[in-house]
């Protein structure tokens, strides 16, 4: 079993990789990358590029971008998957495991600690004020994501139409997020296959201008290592191991606790999310919020904002917010366990089923990426998915805004269609003022996300403390 996890058959024939980077050095580098992985995927990828390509010169620019473009095609956090991919290239499967685990570990521990603080001291004025301020900043950050992704994805009327249809589908018709993503992918694929001009666009990241490190000048070189070449037997074996690690706990939960148990529901639900999280965390959060709040009752709308604020201010992928959702769900329905014990176990379970699939996608698919590279139909499908994600994130921004800026909302129904609208008299003026201030900081003064979040957290604490004193 150990051989299956650490080596491919090719590894056994070659011994080392020949690049001269020790496993211990790699461990220290990946720990450093993990500690600096703030600022969402763009910031995390930039940190990884600076350290791995510019500073350490492990791999060249072309190989880095080739790996990133593959990770962009996958569900899940592309920055963590990129770390797994590079770790695997450098030190086989063990390197991928270390890089991927270290990438999420600081964020997991940080959000777990904040979750404890949240449920134990959330009614203290200072803590309540901190999360109040974070909610205001998160609204501005989500709006920034709509504009940033929209500017990149909506390059022609066809993409604008896809985004608009996705918004109508999720906000008015309440079509589930996975179906919207599937429909967008089919439209993009067919658009490319039929030669439609709006769909003849590439997708992915490209090299920046200026001098770049050539693959041949990197430690790994330009040749593909033997362990990274396709080997169907090894791929099937490692996939079987990863699937067992991912789905085995869910099967045990179902057998011993039943399908209606909160742990089983959390494991199954977030396993589904691991398969459909195209387009980044903001896209899937709209669906998660809809299901976790309205269907399962795991947490309240404003608590979802609190969790997003935690994820924005801690290292690691933004999708770590799902850990907070699982934590709160089990804390409210501990199933006979101590609430804090149940919440901790649910946080571990949520993290497990969210990130184990990332290792599966890389270990199974990475050796075959040359067959995917340059596939026009696949690139068009991803472009259409990204366009749909813009509409989904806009829905998320409106949903958060409704529940943060107003204390009351109403449902207006017309047959099967229903829309949630605010009760205008319930507008919360402090929420509005702080949200506007956060938006001005981000859009007018171009303040980065972390300073904006910290400033709003401090402002929220002062607001609550002053209000309590008066």
pLDDT in tens, 309-359: 888 778 888 889 999 999 999 999 998 899 999 999 999 999 999 999 999
User: For residue 371, what pLDDT band results from cuts at 50, 70 and 90?
Assistant: low
The pLDDT assigned to 148 comes to 79
Backbone angles phi, psi at 141, to 5 degrees: -65, -40
Total-model pTM: 0.75
The answer to whether residue 45 scores a pLDDT higher than 60 is: yes
Q: What is the pLDDT of residues 264-288, one digit of tens each?
A: 999 999 999 888 776 666 777 777 8
The neighbouring-strand residues paired with 409 are: 422
pLDDT(6) > 80: no
pLDDT at residue 39 greater than cutoff 60: no
Write down the mean pLDDT value for the chain: 85
Most confident of 16-30, 224-238, 426-440, 452-466: 426-440
Q: How many residues are listed for the chain in this entry?
A: 470
Tokens of 37: 């992985």
- Average confidence (pLDDT) over 14-18: 50
Q: Is the pLDDT of residue 10 over 50?
A: no
pLDDT, tens digit, 9 for 90 and up, residues 210-259: 467 887 888 888 887 888 888 888 888 999 999 999 999 999 999 999 99
Task: Decide if pLDDT at 203 tops 50.
Answer: no
- pLDDT attached to residue 13: 34
DSSP string, 292-348: IIIIS--S-HHHHHHHHHHHHTSSS-GGGHHHHHHHHHHHH--TTS-HHHHHHHHHH
Instruction: Kindly give the residue spans of alpha helices, DSSP state H, lying in 408-447.
Output: 429-439
């Amino acid at each position: 079993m150990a051989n299956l996890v650490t080596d491919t058959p090719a590894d056994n024939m070659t011994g080392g990789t020949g690049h001269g980077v020790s496993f211990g050095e790699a461990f220290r580098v990946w720990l450093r990358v993990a500690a600096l992985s703030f600022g969402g995927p763009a910031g995390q990828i930039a940190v990884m590029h600076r350290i791995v390509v510019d500073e350490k010169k492990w791999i060249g620019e072309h190989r880095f971008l080739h790996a990133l473009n593959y990770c962009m095609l996958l569900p899940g956090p592309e920055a963590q998957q990129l770390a797994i991919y590079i770790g695997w290239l450098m030190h086989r499967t063990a390197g991928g495991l270390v890089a991927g685990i270290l990438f999420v570990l600081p964020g997991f521990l940080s959000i777990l600690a904040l979750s404890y603080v949240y449920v134990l001291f959330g009614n203290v004025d200072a803590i309540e004020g901190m999360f109040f301020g974070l909610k205001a900043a998160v609204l501005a950050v989500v709006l920034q994501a709509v504009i940033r992704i929209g500017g990149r994805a909506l390059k022609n009327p066809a993409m604008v139409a896809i985004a608009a249809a996705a918004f109508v589908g999720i906000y008015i018709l309440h079509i589930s997020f996975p179906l919207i993503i599937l429909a967008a992918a089919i439209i993009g694929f067919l658009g490319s296959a039929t030669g439609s001009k709006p769909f003849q666009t590439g997708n992915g990241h490209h090299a920046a201008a200026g001098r770049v490190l050539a693959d041949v000048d990197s430690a790994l070189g330009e040749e593909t290592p033997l362990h990274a070449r396709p080997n169907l037997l090894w791929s099937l074996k490692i996939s079987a191991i990863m699937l067992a690690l991912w789905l085995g706990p869910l099967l045990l939960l179902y057998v011993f606790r039943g399908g209606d148990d909160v742990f089983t529901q959390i494991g199954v639900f977030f396993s589904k999310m691991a398969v459909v999280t195209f387009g980044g965390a903001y896209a899937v959060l709209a669906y998660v919020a809809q299901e976790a709040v309205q269907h399962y009752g795991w947490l309240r709308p404003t608590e979802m904002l609190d969790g997003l604020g935690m994820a924005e201010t801690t290292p690691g992928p933004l999708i770590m917010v799902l850990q907070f959702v699982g934590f709160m769900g089990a804390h409210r329905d501990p199933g006979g366990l101590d609430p804090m014990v149940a919440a901790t176990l649910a946080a571990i379970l949520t993290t497990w089923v969210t990130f184990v699939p990332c290792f599966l996608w890389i270990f199974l698919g990475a050796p075959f990426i040359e067959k995917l590279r340059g596939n026009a139909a696949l690139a068009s499908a991803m472009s259409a998915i990204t366009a749909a994600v813009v509409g989904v994130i806009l829905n998320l921004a409106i949903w958060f805004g409704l529940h943060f800026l107003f204390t009351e909302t109403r449902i207006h129904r017309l047959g099967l269609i229903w829309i949630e609208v605010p009760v205008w008299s319930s507008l919360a003026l402090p929420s509005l003022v702080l949200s506007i201030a956060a938006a001005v900081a981000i859009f007018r003064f171009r303040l980065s996300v972390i300073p904006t979040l910290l400033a709003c957290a401090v402002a929220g604490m002062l607001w609550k403390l002053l209000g309590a004193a008066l």
